[in-house]
Structure 1
Amino acid sequence: MLKLKLIRKKAASEKPADKKPADNLPIQMPFPHIHMKAWRFIFFLLLSIVVWAILAVNLLPEQVSLNEGDIAAEDYFYEGATQSYVSDLRTEEARVQAAAAVEELYIIDEDVIANLANKIGNYFDAVTRAAQGELDWEQLREILPGQYSDAELHAVTGLTAQEIAMIKDSFVRMVTSVFELGVLEGDIEQARQNISLAIGTSAISGNAAEFLKSLNNGLDYSYNKVFDALATSLRIQQAQENVRPVQITVRQGEKLVSKGQAVSAEQIEALRELGLQSESRQFTSLSGLFLLVLLCFVLFYFYLQFYKKAVFERQSALLLLGVVTVVILLICKLISLISFSMDAEMTAQVGYLLPVAAAAMVITVLLDREVAVFATVLLAIFAGIAMEGSMVFILVALAGGLTGVLAAAHLNQRSQFVGASIYITIANLVVICAWGLIWHQSYQAIGLGMLFGLINGLLSAILAMGILPYLESAFGVTTVIRLLEYSNSNNLLLKRLMVEAPGTYNHSILVGNLAEAAADAIGADALLVRVSSYYHDIGKLRRPHFYIENQVTGDNPHDKLQPGLSARIIISHVADGVRMLREARFPGEIIDIVEQHHGNSLLSLFYNKAKEQALDPDEVKLADYCYKGPRPQTKEAALVMLADSVQAAVQAMDNRDAGLVEEKVHEIIQLRVREKQLDDCALTFHDLDVIVQNFLMVLSGIHHQRVSYAVPEALPEADIAEEKTGEGGKQDD
């Protein structure tokens, strides 16, 4: 087998950079003089501001200005999503109640009881002394408190010292038992009565008992139960600290203030906390919203920079992301403003219509699946903010959006959006139903939400399918769907090529087969290569009979023309093709390949002919016989160039023996290398070896050998009849 011998080798430092095709955008980059890095920064900042402005519209509900005690002129309802706030008034009221519920703490003064016991002991010592004759009754009366009858004194002074001691101990126990429980300042007389009752129920009776009662009545008691201010204060403080902040939950549609009633402090607080009172700080809410939006786009910026450089470095891709984001958010915001029912719970179901899945599918098809996932998360957050921060709308947007990404990842026909809408609808319905069951929503609300979820799936698919062609055209994005549509033989230009230039059409199909096989092998865009091959010679439609593959009769008009004119006609098919494709609004990638598929190569046939006919060969200008270029800038353009040259050269061979075909393929590619036609693309020497092998494999299938069949002689009729009856069979009489 012949080896490909490259004429020259480049040093690694000479390897050309991988140049990307031009965007071919109808929309020109704004501020082209700004450095790309600064442009991206300004773009994301402006996008953050635009998104913030959209979300800030009606972020806070319509506000009122009421004061405590005002008479409400109308009913005021809360129309936002369910919200909870801490009520300072209710919390303070709960703390006051907790403090009031704390019992006052007292301490028992044990010194009071001890002093009473000592005092009682001294009195009974005097009684003992009187019983022993040391004191007379008058002296005893002066010592003892209170008034005593002679009978009472006679009874106790007639006792033995041991009996007096027993009476004393009993009396001390009675007094101690009462004072140990604590006696407040105002309860001294009640304590005296309790001691008197204890005396009456004791074992002491008669005048001795009366003596104790008289002594009890005469004693100067002091209170011993003292209020402990410090301990009580600490107990109150602890009780207040244990009070949890009182949260008030306000649901959508709940009445806050009734018409004709005086506005209370609690109602003013509710209006203020829910953002309905004009004294509320709107600046705080709007600042928080801007910080959140800015954070989202900062994260998006760095995600693209570090993980999706191909998107990050393309201005058209960033503009496309911005347009899709803004358009979908505008639609979401408009939907969020719809109010169709007095029932707030039912009206809130419109949040299930937000078409985040449409953006997810569009970004997936036009840019990148991973970028679409990140963008879907951001859009779901923004959609939730548009619906006043309700979590369920974020979940539905996420479920539908991510399902849309998965469904659109392998779309190759626009009709497949119908299937995608079914998957999105199923995801929406599952989340809506599950959420409604978890939070015990009414079946009517769940049913309406599921209906809107169904509409969302259909709306997202219709919206994505409707705006996709406009975005493809405006931003010069070539999708698989668009390429497949251009590869359809019913395309107007292909149909014209088939009818008006059938030879060129067949040549283009064969070039497509060659280039596509090689593109698959080296990792290039095979579909783009195939479709571009179909249109690479579309410019020949202007003068189809000037190209040999379309000359059925064998008359060649170039035989009657000057070589220079023939060269201009042949060369013009590139410019004609570019013009026709631009008029038909073909993608920029295809137009670039068509423009580059001949590079600046030489029409050697007419150049040599011109030199032969010229009186002075040196006067023949080489530039007049070269294509105008540019040389192929991408692998795909280079593949179309090589496939075009190889197919035409092999087709012109009289003897297509495998060895000769292989030699011709090597010769053509070596020629393109010598002409430096491949210098501006990213093909490597290894790629060229792989391309050769794949070209040869496809060509062997196209120009394979066939067995020659001899034409059989006609059989006699009798033999034919016998053949029909079967071998060994007999004919019926």
Structure 2
Amino acid sequence: MFVCTTFLIVYLFPKSGKFKYNFEKGKPWQSENLYAPFDFAIKKAEDEINSEKRSIESQAPLYFDEDETVKVNALDAYDIAFSNTFSDSLPRATLNKLKSAGKDVLENLYTLGLLSDTYTFGDDRIVEILSGNVKKRNTVYENLIEQEDLKSFIERKLSSEGLNTYASKFTSIFFDIVEPNLTYNKSFTEKALQDELNKISYTRGSVERGTLIISKGEVVEGDKFQKLKSLQSEYESQVWNEANYNWILFAYTLLVALALLMLLLFLRKYRIEVFDNNTKVTFIFFNVLLMVFITTLVVNYNSEYLYVVPLCMLPLVLKAFFDARLGMFTHVITVLLLGSIVPNSYEYMFLQILAGIVTILTVSELYKRANLFISVGQITLIYIVAYFAFFVIHEGSIETINWNTFLLFILCGLATLFVQPLIYAYEKMFGLVSDVSLLELSDTNTKLLKELSNVSPGTFHHSLNVANLAEASANEIGANAMLVRVGALYHDIGKMVNPNYFTENQSTGINPHDELSSKESARIITDHVINGIEIARKNNLPDRVIDFIRTHHGTSVVYYFYMKAKEMDKDIDSDLFRYPGPKPFSKETAILMMCDSVEAASKSLKNPTSTKIDAFVENIINKQIDEEQFLNANITFKEIQSIKKVLKHKLANIYHLRIEYPE
């Protein structure tokens, strides 16, 4: 898992060198004097290149195709149309003058060119007229005639010839015979423009190896800034890195392996139960890999959207399934991994670690929807405040602040709310259980608990009492109260197999154990643990809940039947009357063992007093300690004393005698 995750993360990372200096325009150079490590060209600034492109685009010629047959056809049609329009009653000299004037208008019209469509080009744009893809002549766009200007052009030409009287007749003739002779050649124009754009030089000058680029304390601006950007680009370009590709790959692998190794060592030292569980380790590594994958996708697409990635979902998810400390440690490791691929890495890492800390500190009881919304609001606020502070430090003012970045933080907060359905999906995929699922299981209307209340009502009531005691005890020592409550509700479901063999369900006064030997009775009693595990698995209860069924009696002895058998045979083996175990191996399972034993035995108290209850609780729990039942649980003597105190207080309240009401 470690090796596979390492190589997958390295595969996602960009395979390029990284410039080892951080610099910002307008800020002093903090490092030592920088000399050129090799020859490199000075790249033009992006604004300068864009300006050149705009200049070329505005001055690039437009190309129009001319159809020469249109003019010939129009002149032929003109002779016929003229004869049909003007009567022979006019003097021949006048007719000849009019006909010649009309031809001049047509000649002039087609010499300038009549457009086939209306365009929005500037009047001063150069136009090249093509005839069969060969340049014929050039002009400017304002000299070309658009169809909507045709009437005014004809009237203007006739007026100059003094033929205003015949303008309407000529207009009708021309509108019948005139056709456009110029068509915009878009593909030729774009090809010619692209040829000009390709001629743009993206560099200006060069820097030789060993040349001083910038001195310590100098302000990074102007030409120095451009030289630094050019050097950085050379470091990160694929061309420069081809010879060093394997070294860069090896270095990335080392860094990623070290980070993941720290995570594994943390699990081995502080979370050994997680380290020993392949599913849980896979789950943690999968989440780290998922966050790296999403962030890499965003960086490759557009790094401006980097803060949309809801990285705080990682500590939220891990806290839901494990604990806050593991969630925070994994979040920091992930942020360190991402620091090598994101721009402005220090700012990014500062913001994300700060947000992760806020996530861990503010989100409690994730199953409560209001808590999640409040926490997401606080995370978003921290993002905005921290980013604002960084921007002011870098720029010195807020005049040029990009308010759209704040919108990205809000979108990140909204995306974080997706953690609830994500947790549900993870539960199904990895077989884990969160507090949300525990809340659902704690509902006494679930199918299994309803069946328990119908089949074994006494056991169900006992489980409710144990759940209340265990929850109060867990809250007292800071254990998982929701988990121990659910464990208490289900710990005795195995008694549904033979409910009448347990005293809390014997309502008729008949005890079936009277007809059995002590060994048989003990076997039925101890079997409720095995039966409970089988019922739990059939009903798909989580393993964390089944652990309570397995451990709530530990390896203790069914003392009543053991002593009864010992009266018959003093040498009888106590292991025949012992529960199969294992012993409790967590604070929560240890709490349940104490509460279960105390609650069950408390039913035998006669005339309970405060002194009796205190001695009773001390006796039962001390006996469990003497039998080393808590040896595998990470619970301290101080915590056990606190649990004793809670149990004594609760039992005193339960058995508090009310005043006797008169009949």
TM-score by length of structure 2 reads: 0.59
Partner of 2:595: 643
Q: What is the aligned counterpart of 2:258 among 298, 307, 330? A: 298
Q: Which amino acid aligns with 1:698?
A: K
- C-alpha distance after superposition, 1:560-590 (max 9, x if no partner): 5555444333222111222333444444444
Residue 376 of structure 1, CA deviation: 3.8
- C-alpha distance after superposition, 1:357-379 (max 9, x if no partner): 21232234444545544544554
Partner Cα distance (1:252, 1:406) in 2:
45
* Residue 327 in structure 1 maps to residue 290 in structure 2: yes
- C-alpha distance after superposition, 1:422-464 (max 9, x if no partner): 33333445566777887699999945544433222111220x3
Q: What is the aligned counterpart of 1:456 among 394, 412, 421? A: 412
Partner Cα distance (1:423, 1:688) in 2:
37
| Contact in 2 for aligned 1:600/1:629 (Cα 8 Å) | yes
Partner Cα distance (1:533, 1:489) in 2:
12
* Residue 710 in structure 1 maps to residue 662 in structure 2: yes
Tell me the secondary structure at the aligned position of residue 629 of structure 1.
Answer: coil
Tell me the secondary structure at the aligned position of residue 417 of structure 2.
Answer: helix
* Residue 697 in structure 1 maps to residue 653 in structure 2: no
Residue 703 of structure 1, CA deviation: 0.4
Partner of 1:133: none
Q: 1:306 to 1:326 in 2, by over 3 A?
A: closer
Residue 631 of structure 1, CA deviation: 3.2
| Contact in 2 for aligned 1:387/1:393 (Cα 8 Å) | yes
Which consecutive unaligned segments of at least 5 residues does structure 1 have? 1-29, 31-42, 62-80, 85-239, 339-346, 712-733
Partner of 1:467: 422
Q: 1:252 to 1:603 in 2, by over 3 A?
A: farther
* Residue 281 in structure 1 maps to residue 228 in structure 2: no
Which consecutive unaligned segments of at least 5 residues does structure 2 have? 26-34, 54-193, 207-228
Q: Which amino acid aligns with 2:452?
A: L
Partner Cα distance (2:460, 2:654) in 1:
16
Partner of 1:578: 533
| Contact in 1 for aligned 2:466/2:488 (Cα 8 Å) | yes
Superposed, which structure 2 residues align to 1:648-727 within 5 Å?
A: 648-669=600-621, 671-672=623-624, 675=627, 677-678=629-630, 680-681=632-633, 691-711=643-663
Residue 354 of structure 1, CA deviation: 1.7
- C-alpha distance after superposition, 1:167-205 (max 9, x if no partner): xxxxxxxxxxxxxxxxxxxxxxxxxxxxxxxxxxxxxxx
Tell me the secondary structure at the aligned position of residue 506 of structure 1.
Answer: helix
* Residue 422 in structure 1 maps to residue 382 in structure 2: no
Partner of 1:40: none
RMSD: 4.8
Q: 1:370 to 1:250 in 2, by over 3 A?
A: farther
Residue 328 of structure 1, CA deviation: 1.2
Partner Cα distance (2:48, 2:650) in 1:
72
TM-score by length of structure 1 reads: 0.54
| Contact in 1 for aligned 2:17/2:248 (Cα 8 Å) | no
Q: Which amino acid aligns with 2:270?
A: A
Superposed, which structure 2 residues align to 1:467-616 within 5 Å?
A: 467-471=422-426, 479-519=434-474, 526-561=481-516, 563-607=518-562
State which structure, 1 or 2, has the greater radius of gyration over its C-alpha atoms.
1
Superposed, which structure 2 residues align to 1:625-640 within 5 Å?
A: 625-640=577-592
Partner Cα distance (1:597, 1:280) in 2:
66
Residue 323 of structure 1, CA deviation: 1.8
Q: 1:368 to 1:652 in 2, by over 3 A?
A: closer
Partner of 1:405: 360
Superposed, which structure 2 residues align to 1:176-255 within 5 Å?
A: 248=43, 250-251=45-46
Residue 310 of structure 1, CA deviation: 1.0
Q: Which amino acid aligns with 1:452?
A: L
Residue 334 of structure 1, CA deviation: 2.8
- C-alpha distance after superposition, 1:84-137 (max 9, x if no partner): 9xxxxxxxxxxxxxxxxxxxxxxxxxxxxxxxxxxxxxxxxxxxxxxxxxxxxx
Residue 503 of structure 1, CA deviation: 1.7
* Residue 354 in structure 1 maps to residue 314 in structure 2: no
Residue 500 of structure 1, CA deviation: 3.5
* Identity among equivalent pairs (%): 27
- C-alpha distance after superposition, 1:587-618 (max 9, x if no partner): 44442232122223333444566677xxx858
| Contact in 2 for aligned 1:666/1:692 (Cα 8 Å) | yes
- C-alpha distance after superposition, 1:688-707 (max 9, x if no partner): 65554443222111101111
Q: Which amino acid aligns with 2:620?
A: I
Partner Cα distance (1:522, 1:400) in 2:
28
Q: 1:503 to 1:253 in 2, by over 3 A?
A: farther
Partner of 2:269: 309
- C-alpha distance after superposition, 1:622-645 (max 9, x if no partner): 544332222334454343223222
Partner of 1:266: 203
Partner Cα distance (1:254, 1:685) in 2:
74
Larger RCO, structure (CA 8 Å, separation 6 or more): 1
Tell me the secondary structure at the aligned position of residue 452 of structure 1.
Answer: helix
Residue 330 of structure 1, CA deviation: 1.3
